[in-house]
Structure formats: C-alpha cells, structure tokens
A and B are shown apart, each in its own frame.
Chain A
Amino acid sequence: MSFPTLINTKPVFRAYAVLTAVLAVIGLSGDTWVSSLGAQLQPAFLVLHPTAASPFGQYVVPRLAGVVLLTAALIALAFARLEDAEARRHSLNRFAIAHVVGGILFSGISSALLTPMLPTIIVWAPLVVGIVLSSFAIVNAQAQPSGHTSVDVLRSRYEAQIREAARREERARLARVLHDAVKQQLFAIQTAAATVEARLETDQSGARAAAGTVRASAHEALVEMETLIDQLQTAPMENSGFEDALRRQCDALGYRTGATVTLTIGALPPSTALVPGAYEALYRFAQEALHNVGRHARARTVKVHFGVRAGRLELWIADDGAGFVPDEAPSGMGRRNMEARVQELGGTCTITSARGSGTTVMCTLPLGARSRLRRVGGALAWAAISGCAGFLLYWAGGVNDQGRPAYYFGVEFLKVFGIAVSIGVVLIVIGGLVRAAARFDARLLRALNRHADLDRHR
C-alpha cells in the first residue's frame, strides 16, 4: 500500500504570504492607480461605516481590508519560517480551520447585510482559500496515517539516539577522568597519610614532608574536581567563565602529568561576535585535546593559546610529546564529536603531528557573525526602509475628506509616539551603562581573585 507523498507546507505558506501581501498593498494604497478595484468596493461598505470623519480617508474599506490581508501575510510568513516540518503541518491545519470559519462568517454577513452586494469573488474568496488549505491538510493527514512513521518521526528518533550516545560518551569521559586523575590523587593522599602515621614517632621531618604531600595532592584533586564540575555545568559560558575553566583544565593536566602547561590568552572578542554555543564547543575541544595529551603524549611542555587572530577566534594546543601519524590513529568518538561540533559553528579543526615531534591541534571559529556594528547597521537599515515605506504611503495615500493627508493621525498621536520613542532611547542607554558597569565589576573581581590566588601559592 502506497501513501500519497507529503506536501511540503513551506512553499504553500510562502505563496500565500506573497499573494496576500500584493493584495494588501493594492488595498492600502487608496486611490492610486493600483486601487481601482479597491475603489469599486467602496460603496458596499458605506452602509455600515460612514467614512466622512475617518482618519483613514474615504478609502477606509480597502485600507482596512489591506491591513487584514497584511496581517494574514505576516502570519503565513512566520509559519513558513518554522523549521520543524511537523509543527508547520499542524500550523497549516489550524490556519485552514481559521480560514474556513472566518470565511463562512464573512460570506454570511456580507451577503445578508451589505447592499449593494460585494462582487461574488470577494464574498467567497476567504472560504475558498480555507477549503484549498484544508485539502492540503487532508492530503498530509492521509500521507501520515496513524501507526505509520513519517520521515520526521524517524529523524527525531535518530536525533534522540544521537543525544543518548552523546550522553553515554559524556558519562564515559567523566568516569575516565575520575579513574585517571581523581582516584590516583586520592590513592596518593591515602598513602601519604599512612606515611605520616608510620613516621610520626621516629622521623618528624619525614612526617612533615608526607603531610605536605597530603596537602598538595588534596589541592590537585580539588582542581581536578573543579574541572569535572565545569563539565557538568549547564549554564552557557562567557569569556570569563571560559577563561577560568580553560585555566583549570591546564592546571589539572600539569598536576596529572608533571608537564609544564602554559596558557596564554590574546585579544578576546566581544561575546556578541560569537555564535551561541561557541564557548561550549571550544571548551569541549580543549578538554578532549588536553585529555589526549595526558593519555598519550608523554609531553614535557604543553602550550595552550586562545585569542583572536586575523578576524578568527583561535585555540591551539601544542605539545612536545610522542606525536602520532594522524591518518593511522583511530579517530575516536571523542575526536569526531569535537570536530563535528566545531564544524557546525562554521569553524575548522586541524591536527598536525608526526611520530616523535609533538602534536599541535588547532581550532578556529569565524567571528563577526553578529558584531555590534552590524547589528546597529541592520537596525538602522530597517528603520530607513520602514521610514521610506511610510513616506510612500503618505505620499500615495492622497487626502481624506477633510483635506488632510489620508494617513494623518493627528498631533496628539505624534506627541505620544515621540514620548514613547524617547523613553525607549533612555532605557537603551541605561541598559548599556548597567551592562558596562557589570562587565567592569566582573573583570575587577577576577583580577582580585587571581591576586589572592597568587598570594596563596607564594
């Protein structure tokens, strides 16, 4: 048994939006050359709505119809932007029902109440559109009878499986860190404590040295625990959080392997210049790379650098360890995941290594996806476009029956509008100041913490 294919609802919504938008422009434009149809409809509505005093001018009916059509066009456009096909199909169903119900009401009211009658095509148009949309909805419903799994259901199951695999992988990684690092450190603490006991009576300086080992190992275990907690953290990371987490990772690697790990941080991008999730991806990348250094490299020195260079955010980790031949090494799930995550964000990953000459892994992410300048520019462009559109309407709208421009809303309206705009500007300025103050505060706090840290370790 074969099922009819699913209709893609995206072009349906798009076509609907374009058609209604064109009709809306015709309606809204009053008595210009495109509006002869709108002008013809006018007498029918005079019965219901005397328009002499209307601020919309004498073409109130086509203009109101234009507003309704424009709203419908925008709603359809919003539905067309839904990426989830399942949700889009549900939206089409509801959209169709709304048209059928609204269409019945409209055609009933207009044929019963309006004299002279509206043209037949206008009276029935909404209902016909509703029926056409419903037929699409019915075809889609048949293409996906209950019990049959659609492509979308399969895909969402597949995605759920991938998520589950990622969760398992994460658990395995945590177990590895607990085993490779924390367990060893606790064993060292236990042994050193036993040493203190064994030497307490006979060898005081030896006992004191062992107590020092207990303390140092406990500190190292704490740093390692910190990195584990970082990994479990779900809150999105910002510049400062990322920096601290990366530093802890580097410290932990140094403690674990005895290698000298240096972290240098270059110019940092404004957080708005990065796509969402960029820091998480970078952190996972660093974590995987540092973990591999600890497990396989036997490095003496490890250099980690993070910063902006040539318009891209760069993170590289270079060690002087054993190295490997990248084509021969099995590409583990951890490495594949970390590469996929970076590539999803438009970044690149490269691994440079040869046996005996260390390994360098580098990851770059594009910047300026949404820089502040571009966002302000975009907003200004939108303002300019809507201003032009408003002026066009004003110019094309003609005058109403009191001799005023058709879209003249009165001086009061302009006052209220002006006050609203000023309040908005003030709020934006205050918000900006508060954010800047908070950033300064955070930076100060971090600097203080670092100094306190240095003091503690001196």
Chain B
Amino acid sequence: MPISIAIVDDHRVVGRSLQAYLESFPDLKLVGIATTGEEMLERLDEWRPQVVLQDLLLPGGIDGIETTQRLLARAPDVRVVALTASTDEARMMGVLRAGATGYVRKDAEPETLLAAVRAVARGRTFIDPSIGHRVLRTDTSDDLTPRELDVLRHVALGKSNKDIAVALDIIEETVKTHVRHVLANLGAENRAQAAVRALARGVVSPEDLAAD
C-alpha cells in the first residue's frame, strides 16, 4: 500500500513541483496540498495522510511548528517531516520538540526528501545529513559512557530499539534504559533531537547519515 502524503507549503510552485515529483514513485501517493497550517488542520480528517511535509515559515496565521503541534495532538500516528529553506537552529529544535521525526532542508537533493518520507513512514527518525555541517562540533561535553555513545550513534541513524538491540547484541529493555539516559544527558526530548545533538558532538558524521 502506498504511503499517503500531504504537503503544507505557502509557495505555490514548491507544492506543485513536489506533487509531480512524489507522484512519480508508485510507493507514494499525494492526498493534498495546503497553503496554510489552518487549511491542513481543517482537511486532516478528509485527507488522512500518513506523512505530512511541513514548511516551517508560513505567512499570516500559525507557523509550521504550531501546525505540527496541533496536528500531532489530534493525530499522533501522523509522521511529520519539516521541510524548510531556513537554517535557523532554534527553529529546527523547535519543530523536533513539537514532534516532527524528519527534518529536510530545501537545498537538499530531492532524493533526500524521498528517503526522509520513506524512513519516517517506517517509524524511523530522519535528519537531513547536510545540517550536520552547520551544527557540527558545537558541543564537546563528555558525559556519556562508550556503550551510551554506541546507542546514540544508532539512534541518530534512525534505528528502532529492536534494531539497536540486535546490532549491539543486548536485550531491548537495556536499550530502552540506555536511550533514556542518553536523552536525559543530552537534554533531548526525543530521538530526533538526540540525533541533532549527536551530530553536534561528532558522534555521527553527516556522511554516516547520508550513507544510511
């Protein structure tokens, strides 16, 4: 069954060209384009998207972060990919805090967007590798154990707890404990934010993310 996608972007041309692009792939299906956050929320029940591509800067009414918050409050199963031309780190952390599990910049290659949509639809986290070049190595604190760093690396790569348990050959319950510690230590509220912190610490490189 194809992944159903909705787009929220106030730029007409962006919405149209994204629609044409995403519809080129048989595993994706576009269910609607909204030009404002309000419109998206209004049509949510009608469209029932699995993934929402969310522009962050929306003129006039509510912005992308608030749209994401309200969207996930009403439909927690929806996956949100923040799609933005801005490079503002505060805004990026904001939308991840709001619950977006994907983050792609508009200067990324279209294939990155494709990968993000497919990854979040499978329940994984996807951070645009190119943002690594911006947030890279701004955080040098050293308060994680080697094992926790391993876990963080896998979290940043978008792996689920089960995947991590298999990769590190430990039980899933232990992975959960490690992830809780890691999130607390990093001051991250969720795995997406932890992925950004991992980039900032150099635990993973942008190339690692891109390779996945």
Residues of chain A touching chain B, judged by Cβ–Cβ distance below 8 Å, are: 179-180, 183-185, 187-192, 194-195, 198-199, 203, 206, 209-210, 213, 216-217, 220, 255-258, 294-298, 321-322
Decide if B60 touches A322 in the complex (CB within 8 Å).
yes
Q: Which of A183, A184, A199, A255 contacts B24 (CB 8 A)?
A: A199
Within 8 A of A (CB), among B71-130: 85-86, 106-107, 109-111
The answer for the CA separation of A225 and B23 in the assembled complex, in Å, is 30
Is the contact region of chain A dominated by helix, strand, or loop, or is it mixed?
helix
Stretch of B7-15, B141-149, B159-167 lying at the A interface: B7-15
The answer for the CA separation of A363 and B109 in the assembled complex, in Å, is 44
Decide if B17 touches A217 in the complex (CB within 8 Å).
yes
Decide if A296 touches B60 in the complex (CB within 8 Å).
yes
Decide if B110 touches A185 in the complex (CB within 8 Å).
no
* Chain A residues near B17 (CB-CB < 8 A): 187-189, 191-192, 195, 210, 213, 217
Decide if B18 touches A191 in the complex (CB within 8 Å).
yes
Known: A184-B85, A256-B12, A258-B12. 14 other contacts (CB 8 A): A184-B11, A184-B14, A188-B16, A192-B17, A192-B21, A195-B24, A198-B25, A210-B20, A213-B20, A217-B13, A217-B17, A298-B59, A322-B60, A322-B61
Q: Is B36 at the interface (CB under 8 A from chain A)?
A: yes
Decide if B14 touches A213 in the complex (CB within 8 Å).
no
The answer for the CA separation of A187 and B24 in the assembled complex, in Å, is 17
Q: Smallest distance from the beta carbon of B16 to chain A beta carbons, Å?
A: 7
The answer for the CA separation of A296 and B35 in the assembled complex, in Å, is 13
* Chain A residues near B86 (CB-CB < 8 A): 179
Within 8 A of A (CB), among B1-44: 10-14, 16-18, 20-21, 23-25, 35-36
The answer for the CA separation of A255 and B191 in the assembled complex, in Å, is 39
* Chain B residues near A203 (CB-CB < 8 A): 24
The answer for the CA separation of A15 and B25 in the assembled complex, in Å, is 87
* Chain A residues near B106 (CB-CB < 8 A): 183-184, 187
* Chain B residues near A209 (CB-CB < 8 A): 20
Decide if A188 touches B24 in the complex (CB within 8 Å).
no
Given A191-B17, A192-B21, A195-B24, A183 and B60 contact (CB-CB distance below 8 Å): no
* Chain B residues near A185 (CB-CB < 8 A): 13
Which of chain B's residues has its CB closest to A294's CB?
Answer: B59
Q: Which of A188, A198, A321 contacts B13 (CB 8 A)?
A: A188
- Residue of B17, B36, B60, B106 ringed by the most chain A CB atoms within 10 A: B17
Decide if A296 touches B107 in the complex (CB within 8 Å).
no
Decide if A194 touches B111 in the complex (CB within 8 Å).
yes
What are 19 A-B interface contacts by the 8 Å CB criterion? Answer: A184-B11, A184-B85, A187-B14, A187-B85, A188-B17, A191-B17, A191-B20, A191-B110, A192-B21, A194-B21, A195-B20, A198-B21, A206-B20, A213-B16, A213-B20, A220-B13, A295-B59, A296-B60, A322-B61
> 9 nearest interchain CB pairs?
A198-B24, A194-B110, A188-B13, A188-B17, A258-B12, A191-B17, A195-B21, A192-B17, A184-B11
* Chain A residues near B11 (CB-CB < 8 A): 184, 188, 256
Which of chain B's residues has its CB closest to A298's CB?
Answer: B60
